[in-house]
Amino acid sequence: MIAPRRLNILYVSHMPASPPRFGAQARINGLMTQLSRRHDLTAVTLADAEFDADECRASMQAYCRDVVLIPNPNGKDGMSKRLLQLRSLASTQSFERQQVTVPAMQQALDRVLQSKRFDIVNLEFSFLGRCNFRQAPPGEKLPAVVVDSHNIDYELIRQYARSGSSLLRRFYAGVNWRKLRREELATYGGADGVYLCSTDDEDRLHQQVPGIRTTVIPNAADVDFYQPRPSDPPSDGKTIVFFGHMSYVPNIDGVIHFVRDIWPRIAEACPDAKFKIIGSNPHPSVKELAGPRIELTGFVPDLRPHLASSAALVVPLRLGGGTRLKIVEGMALGKAIVSTTLGAEGIKAEPGRDLLIADEPQAFADAVIQLLKNPDQASAIGHAARQLAVEKYSWGGAAESLEKFYHQILEARA
């Protein structure tokens, strides 16, 4: 085994990691922040129009030696995105790959990789997998390439093809997921290693790419930041919370499903109950859900007071993969959680002790009603959840496991 040593790591992503405002950012930010304590990090990332480049650069420079942000001319919502999606139908490449195909990105990678030797190139997601990462200064060894698979993304798009909200969306996803599958599996197969969020995704990947070197690095939480504080408001006993990036399709589908199919049952049994939806960039279909007892906050700078004052956190997801940061962050804050089986996939929690699991609308509503009417039970579940988060789902522990994986890959190459 190679003795632990300080590594030069290049992080490559199609989005900046910081400041973290949704799940994918939180994962990258959490791991990079912890790894930077023992290793030297450089980042080369694209930045869509929604990001403030100066803010992102300043935030990432807190743990990176160098940060290179490249504006993504394809990273715009509205009509320009729709036109790119339309053009992608006639292309052999997926929409996701076309969206991140930016010549300036490869030029920046060439410049960085040829000027400094890196031990590891850590690629976030597979979308940029077409880029050339196998470069080094003259006479130096080429870096190992490791991919962080936040989801098996083509499987996520295939779910949309089966259960999209409209015939047009299902048709588009049905065309796109096959292209993405070819690209994604090629990226994984060409890498020296892949780390995934859950054993379920790891098993799925091994079925498609036998013999690939993998490990599981679960999503985690900053358990020091996300913890109950004396200064936070106490639970009001009546507010149910969902939080997440509200332009993300699984979150959109989840809250619409909750409001239409589950919430009426809760509202009838608990007349004082309220539902709060927290998250940036809410889709128009989500905005339509707001009402007298349903609050839509948009982005909030600090989740902790909102979660502390709530009676329970709900995760009514029907689409998606990986593991949900909203669950581990809610657990770290000591909140009782009701989730679908899919929502809690990959979380090693005991139903009934660490959280409640329900899939059918009536069963989900009954679980929420149970917590609203039994605050002592909600408190006990929240306490157990906090203990589990501290023991198994801290970013410090996740980063140590990733560091071991890096060294295993470097040893195998040596």
Q: Which residue has the tokens 């199609």?
A: 14
List, in sequence order, every residue forming a beta bridge with 120; answer none if it has no partner. Answer: 9, 144
Would you list the domain boundaries of the chain? Answer: 8-220+395-413, 239-392
Which tokens sit at 72? 């993504």
pLDDT under 70: residue ranges of the chain: 1-3, 165, 322
Domain 239-392 has CATH 3.40.190.10: no
Instruction: Quote the pTM value.
Output: 0.88
Q: Which residues pair with 42 in a beta bridge?
A: 10, 66
Same CATH topology for 8-220+395-413 and 239-392: the answer is yes
Identify whether the C-beta of residue 375 lies closer than 8 Å to the C-beta of residue 355.
no
Residue 18 in contact with residue 24, Cβ under 8 Å?
A: no
- What ranges in 191-275 are assigned the alpha helix state H? 199-208, 249-257, 263-269
In the numeric block, the tokens 């093809």 are attached to: 161
Q: Which CATH number fits domain 8-220+395-413: 1.10.357.10, 3.40.50.300, 3.20.20.70, 3.40.50.2000?
A: 3.40.50.2000
Per-residue confidence (pLDDT) for residue 76, from 0 to 100? 84
What CA–CA distances, in Å, run from 88 to 93, 172, 177? 7, 10, 12
Identify the pLDDT of residue 247: 87
Cross-strand partners of 351: 355
CA dihedral 132, 181, 247, 330 (to 10 degrees): -90
Of 125, 37, 145, 82, residue with least CA distance to 406? 145
Cα angle for residues 346, 166, 127 (degrees, 5° grid): 50
pLDDT recorded at residue 143 = 98
Q: CA–CA separation, 129 vs 168, rounded Å?
A: 28
